[in-house]
A and B are shown apart, each in its own frame.
Chain A
Amino acid sequence: MIRTPRSPRLSSLALALAAVALPLTAQAHKAWLLPSSTVVSGETPWVGVDAAISNSLYYPDHFPMPLQSLAITAPDGSKAVAQNPHTGKYRSVFDVELNQTGTWRIASVNSGLFASWEENGQPRRWRGSEETLGKEVPKDAKNLQITRSAGRVETFVTSGEPSTGALQPTGSGLELVPVTHPNDLFAGEAARFRLLIDGQPAAGVEVTVVPGATRYRDSQDEFAAKTDADGQFSVTWPAAGMYWLTASLQDDKAAPPASARRASYTATLEVLPQ
């Protein structure tokens, strides 16, 4: 976790809303983390990571991703700290020192509760945590709706041999569990992954994949896959490059006090040439 100064133009609520809500409106804006390399070697290699919410992939053209919610997991499962963080006009950047061999999971993870109700005929909205809910939202509010929200934006970097220690699901929100390792993707080959929601198979969820470098073509060229009963889906990579993979889910299977949950997942995956 790192702390960055708040933007004078935007409240922290707006930033949090942007980080959580934007992946759900993926048609317009795309949140992403883009590592400078995904496959590295040497004693203590570093990667630089760009973090942004943009219209085109992977060009920071809209809004920097706030860095308050970074969750960097080292190959042994321990938490690591982002170095040299900076938030600019269009993108945030930070470095990660890969001081362990294996696979690193670099993520921005947001979660919280949203509430809406009516007060004196006026709609009210609130966002916060379970701790603040009881204090700030009247229990007997009219038409009270509470939604649990979880958003994860992530990417993977491997130093040396790929490992899965950092890829263990946390059991919260939408998560990708590798069948094919996310740093072992090659053009023309199929990759298989499993999607979990709160640790359980996410069945029947549509997964959308958009190749990077959208600036240099006329269409999104996105393609889709759907998860089976076990949450598994398969993607065959048409060409080498960066890919933006996203899925979202909304249902009423929320843990109390929420009555609805929504979750989004986004990964940047690099597919190498043969």
Chain B
Amino acid sequence: MTLLRSLSLPLLLAAALPAGAARLSLEVEIPALQVAEYHRPYVALWIEREDASVAANLAVWYQQDKPGHKGDSGTKWLPDLRQWWRRSGRGLRLPVDGVTGATRPAGSHTLAFDDRNAPLRDLPPGSYRVVVEAVREVGGRELLKLPLQWPPTAAQEARAQGKNELGAVRLSATP
């Protein structure tokens, strides 16, 4: 236990994976906005091929319905994530295990993927872009793209800075 306690959290996470696993880490910042009416954004993260077709969905955050809810379902507004909806969402049966989930509050959110698990396990080698699209009810929409070579042969870093609905987005991939 003393040994474990002395290890930092990232090291523990790394230790949980077998040696040699290629990893992709994404850090997505949802900015805190001072607006009269704030709703958490809907956010979709996916990997697109060079022709903009979708290779893998990474995460989709949208309003989940409470049991026995009345009125419009949270799925009603998914087409507002209009590129994701066009490229992938409209053909999916929701929810999607391991992909869809509740909206997240302002702050920085880290997502970790590796080549031992879906969806990267099944991703053929190639040039891709990670796409992050965010849209907020009675707010705006923003879309950012970051380059990704998969599998990584050396450590990769990419950054993009949103202006309105997204803050900093960081991508890091390690072989």
Residues of A within 8 A of B (CB): 37, 39-43, 45, 158, 160-162, 184, 186, 272-274
Contacts and interface: CB of A to CB of B under 8 A. Distances in A.
Contacts of A41: 75-79, 85, 89-90
Contact of B90 (A45, A160, A273, A274): A160
A272 B80 CA distance: 11
Contacts, number: 34
A110 to B, nearest CB: 32
A97 B78 CA distance: 18
A134 B93 CA distance: 55
B85 A40 contact: no
Nearest to A273: B82
Given A272-B82, A274-B83, A40 B91 contact: no
The 4 tightest CB contacts between A and B, nearest first, are A42-B76, A161-B91, A39-B79, A41-B78
B97 interface: no
Interface of B: 72-73, 75-79, 82-83, 85-86, 89-91
A43 B70 CA distance: 12
Nearest to B74: A42
Contacts of B91: 160-161
A45 B89 CA distance: 16
A189 to B, nearest CB: 11
Given A160-B90, A161-B90, A42 B82 contact: no
Contacts of A161: 90-91
Nearest to A101: B90
Nearest to A42: B76
A42 B85 contact: no
Contact of B73 (A42, A162, A184, A273): A42
A161 B78 CA distance: 13
Nearest to B62: A41
B83 A43 contact: no
A272 B87 CA distance: 13
Contacts of A273: 82
Nearest to A39: B79
A184 B75 contact: no
Given A272-B82, A274-B83, A42 B90 contact: no
A140 B85 CA distance: 62
B89 to A, nearest CB: 8
Contacts of A162: 90
